[in-house]
Structure 1
Amino acid sequence: MPDSVRSEPTCILVVEDDDDIRALILRYLTRSGYVVVGVADGSGLDREMARQPFDLILLDVMLPAETGFELCRRIHTISQARIIMVTALAEVTDRVAGLELGADDYVGKPFELVELGARIKAVLRRGVPRELTPQANAAAAGLHFAGWRFEPERRVLYTSGDVRMTLTGAETDLMLVFYHHPGRVLSREELIALTRGASFIVEERTIDLLISRLRRKLAHGGRQLELIRTIRGDGYVFDPTFGGTEKLVP
């Protein structure tokens, strides 16, 4: 849903090579109150992103020339826009590939427009701004734990040595959930509900994959702390004091 407190409308870029499907999505999202632009391929995406910033990109996987996976990787080097992958691929490994590359969600083809609209609203509620305001810059001073500085607005972690670790949108959401629930064992179902919404169906393997990626990045801190621990049969726990005396600092 477009944010009623924003001074600018929410802008969405639809990348879909099927003319009929693209036109259908554009009509639906326009009626829903978004500013929407549609393109058929990666060259169109580059052209439109050079013209204006977008809040969210709806990205088909099976595209001519460059695939959606390739475009997803490239988008993250130039934009903070949220990304929803649209895929007809049935294999779980194919679907999570987009999440590995930094996509925030995926929608399987064929899909209902109502479901697409709900997923767009959920992703936009995570609130990544096109440009950080002075207030957001102040908030981005960081959340601190175990020698790390976490700046969710910028999707980054900094080690005690000020080495920057870039996070995907999904990794940022997961890190925020862990930060705000220290010491609490969270099941995969709870992690899915807290990051995606209780009504969304997400494979538990996706959470395991995201946690594995987040652990690898946290391992660069050099503190030898197991910050995210697996509790066999129950889920995961974020413990910034494990193996040391570090505390959360608001």
Structure 2
Amino acid sequence: MTSGNSVADQTIHILIVEDDPDINALITRFLKKSGYQAEGVANGREMDVAMAKHPFDLVLLDLMLPGETGLDLCRRIRATSDARVIMVTALAEVTDRVAGLELGADDYIGKPFELIELAARIKAVLRRGAPRKSETAGTPEVIHDSLHFSGWRFEPERRLLYTKTGVRMALTGAETDLLLVLYRHAGQVVSRRQLIVLTRGDEDAIDERTIDLLVSRLRRKLAQGGRQLELIRTIRGDGYLFDTTIAGGEEKPS
């Protein structure tokens, strides 16, 4: 692992959950040098203690941990915290990576990795989850941008989807990114490779099978709205088409 120079927001708190003490110390030092508030722990028990003391903005979570696995801990984080999660894995199986995304992880990075790549992924995840400038302490009510299509209301910043009757559904970070890209390209066929680049910024970030599984999961959530129309159509050999009409009064996605 090699480092890169960057300047980060010192108000951002990052927790590193990694059982290898050398790797843990290396990442922790690098993030502190980059300007983050960083703390390293070795397992789920230590993670719980750290998160009980103060909230974290992002958790860097190793998949292969002694005792409780990273997937177990990701599930617990999602149930108790709004922290962003980046899974760290040495496993090559796509199902292992998708499992983390389906449990609510916002991204993953494979071992071995360069520290400069880790820094870029952290910035990207934090940027996707950053609140608007108007979201300050003491504000009684925050108005979030809403996108409307086929009776649905979509709030990307809050990772929420509402049915026509107002039923709320929580989306994972990966689902939010995918739906936002599809919305912005409504009526256009988008290839799997394009979806990877547009959601992750890197053609090699994930493979096409991961996109297929995320589309399948998003379809199931959209189906819960009681609408029979298949909004995400598979165009054989080409990719996916978001087959919907954007609600009037809003600018058509470009």
TM-score by structure 2 length?
0.87
Q: Which residue of 1 aligns with 2:201?
A: 197
Deviations 1:192-250 (A, max 9, x none): 11111035431111111111000000001112111111111111111223xxxx73653
Counterpart residue type for residue 224 of structure 1 = Q
Given that 2:193 and 2:203 are in contact with CA atoms closer than 8 Å, whether structure 1 keeps it comes out as no
Change in Cα spacing, 1:53 to 1:136, as seen in structure 2 (3 Å) is: farther
Say whether the 8 Å CA contact 1:144–1:249 is kept in structure 2.
no
Unaligned runs of 5+ in 2: 1-5
Distance 1:107 1:39 in 2: 18
Instruction: Tell me the residue number matched to 1:186.
Output: 190
- Other-structure match for 1:106: 108
Alignment of 1:1-250 (within 5 A): 9-129=11-131, 132-133=135-136, 134=139, 137-140=142-145, 142-198=146-202, 200-241=204-245, 247=247, 250=250
Aligned mates of 2:140, 2:184 — CA distance in 1: 21
Q: Which amino acid aligns with 2:61?
A: L
Residue type matched to 2:53 in 1?
Answer: R
- Aligned residues: CA RMSD: 2.3
- Call closer, same or farther: CA 1:37–1:136 in 2, change over 3 Å: farther
What is the DSSP-based 3-state SS (H/G/I as helix, E as strand, rest coil) of the residue aligned with 2:210?
helix
Percent identity at matched positions? 67
Counterpart of 1:236 in 2: which secondary structure? strand
Distance 1:219-1:2 versus aligned 2 partners, 3 A rule: farther
> Cα gap change, 1:31/1:248 in structure 2, threshold over 3 Å: closer, same or farther?
farther
- Could you say what secondary structure the match of 1:103 adopts? coil
TM-score normalised to structure 1 length: 0.88
CA–CA separation in structure 1 for the residues paired with 2:75 and 2:164? 28
Secondary structure, counterpart of 1:139 in structure 2 = coil
CA distance in 2, matches of 1:230, 1:135: 43
Relative to structure 1, is the Cα distance of residues 135 and 82 closer, same or farther in structure 2, using a 3 angstrom cutoff?
Answer: farther
Q: When the two structures are aligned, how many residues end up with a matched partner?
A: 242
Distance, in Å, in 1 between the alignment partners of 2:125 and 2:119 is 10
